[in-house]
Amino acid sequence: MAVHPVARVVEREVRVYRRMWRGLAFSAFLAPILFLVAMGFGLGDLVDENAGDVGGVGYLEFIAPGLLVASAAQTAAGESLWPVLAGIKWMRFYQGMIATPMEAAHVYGGVVVWNGLHAVLTATAFLGVGAVVGAIPSWWAVLAVPAAALTACAVSAPIAAFSATQESDTGFPVVLRLVIQPLFLFSGAFFPISQLPSVLEAFVRVSPLYHGVELARAATLGTYDASVFAHVAVLGAFTAVGALAGTRAFARRLAA
């Protein structure tokens, strides 16, 4: 049976990851775990003693799904910047891919799908540790893994499209520092966004990370309601719009 070209791109990313995972383990997995332990137990004890709870639950249980999704989004953003430009311009291995029957759309799709699968790996490991330390109160938490994967795709799709239009990486640190990092801090991972000024809260509500965090939190707490459909729809819209732009950008750039 023929293997889909997108799966071939994913296979290539898996092979690369198998050689590099030790160097990536800290930023993708160990750092979020340290955040969870330090803030969940250290800061969390202070919050629970003085505020009682956050959003009706203990602070450790509140931030666990936020860190799970936020770390997946950060990793997906980084993997959609420098590695994409390397494939297009610096090392040009994407050109080698499209020299086969593979098309530019397959290359782009493989990049986004791999980032979603990478999120599955890191989110599953994080969820296991979170369960051990008592941060995961519901068995519905297994659904936080696909929530992290969908968020990773929603972040990766537009950023990979942006990367394909760039001639240098000058703007990449700006994307991380002025877009991804503020979203990491203000998208509800560490505190309810209702604490933000109304203008900033409105901005956060249209970000993919906020919807991913809310979706994962509903899973880990077992508090699903109709709002999950809106969260999934927003994440799907970011992925779809990013895919439309990314397919065109990859095709245009790789044909040059």
Q: What is the DSSP letter of 178?
A: I
- Please give the span between the terminal C-alpha atoms of the chain, in angstroms, as a whole number: 33
Distance in angstroms (rounded) separating the CA atoms of residues 159 and 82: 11
pLDDT at 50 over 80: no
What b/e string do you get for 57-84 counting C-beta neighbours within 10 Å, with b at 16 or more? bbbbbbbbbbbbbbbbbbbbbbbbbebb
Distance in angstroms (rounded) separating the CA atoms of residues 115 and 83: 12
With H, G, I as helix, E, B as strand and everything else as coil, classify residue 54. strand
Q: What are the tens digits of pLDDT across the range 199-244?
A: 999 999 999 999 999 999 999 999 989 999 999 999 999 999 999 9
With H, G, I as helix, E, B as strand and everything else as coil, classify residue 57. strand
Which residue bears the tokens 């989004």? 73
Q: What is the mean pLDDT of residues 21-35?
A: 73
Task: Among 35-39, 146-150, 184-188, name the one with the lowest average pLDDT.
Answer: 35-39
Distance in angstroms (rounded) separating the CA atoms of residues 234 and 238: 6
Answer whether 144's CB lies under 8 Å from 127's CB: yes
Q: What are the tens digits of pLDDT across the range 137-177?
A: 999 999 999 999 999 999 999 999 999 999 999 999 999 99
The three-point CA angle 150-165-113 to 5° equals 25
What's residue 48's pLDDT?
A: 65
Answer whether 10's CB lies under 8 Å from 103's CB: no
Q: Which two tokens stand for residue 77?
A: 């953003």
Percent helix, strand, coil in the chain, to 5, is 80, 0, 20
